[in-house]
Amino acid sequence: MGENGNKERMLAGEWYIADDEELAADTERRFSLCAAYNAHGGAAPAERSGILAELLGSVGEDVRVRPPFQCDFGSYISIGDRTFVNFNAVFLDSAPITIGSDVQIGPNVQLLTPLHELDTERRRAGWEKAAPVTIGDNVWLGGGVIVCPGVTIGENTVVGAGSVVTRDLPAGVLAVGNPARVIRTLTD
């Protein structure tokens, strides 16, 4: 692959080779920072915040992420102010993951951007592409929620525990199930 060609294709949502030397340095960086963050679970909040700020693309004020936490690159993740991420979060950020302010993310939540090739030969060769995930302000994702590639969840929405979100969800609704479906509108 040419200089930055593979990474540029990845970030543009085009097909790229996931196991590529060009992406290896970013993977090593993420591996080291995630290991440091997860090992410092009992460390002072300022120390953990510093590691998180180095790992992620942007981190708002008063963000709390409980270890263990895993991601693909980290640098394509943005988290807004006062957001809470519980234990065992997995954020696969081959495309941007944007999380708003005042978001509550339960334990074992997965935010997934990679899409794998359906053709067996291309999949075996390592081809994939990615689509961004966007979580609006004041969203609550219950424990074990999986958000699939390309999904946007509107502000003030609640997604019930164990749900699999395969399509965009509008603002201000309660959604549950696999696949997640809107069961009612939420009011203040």
Catalytic, 40? Answer: no
In angstroms and rounded to an integer, the radius of gyration of the C-alpha atoms of the chain is 17
Determine the pLDDT at residue 20.
Answer: 82
Q: Which residue has the tokens 């992620």?
A: 56
pLDDT of the residue at 48: 85
**DSSP 8-class letter at 124:** H
- The CATH class that applies to domain 5-185 reads mainly beta
Check 116, 122, 123, 184 and give the catalytic one: 116
Q: Give the pair of three-digit tokens for residue 105.
A: 């993310």
Q: Which segments in the chain show pLDDT lower than 50?
A: 1-3
| The pLDDT of residue 43 | 63
> What pLDDT is recorded for position 1?
42
Q: pTM to 2 decimals? A: 0.93
pLDDT at 112: 98
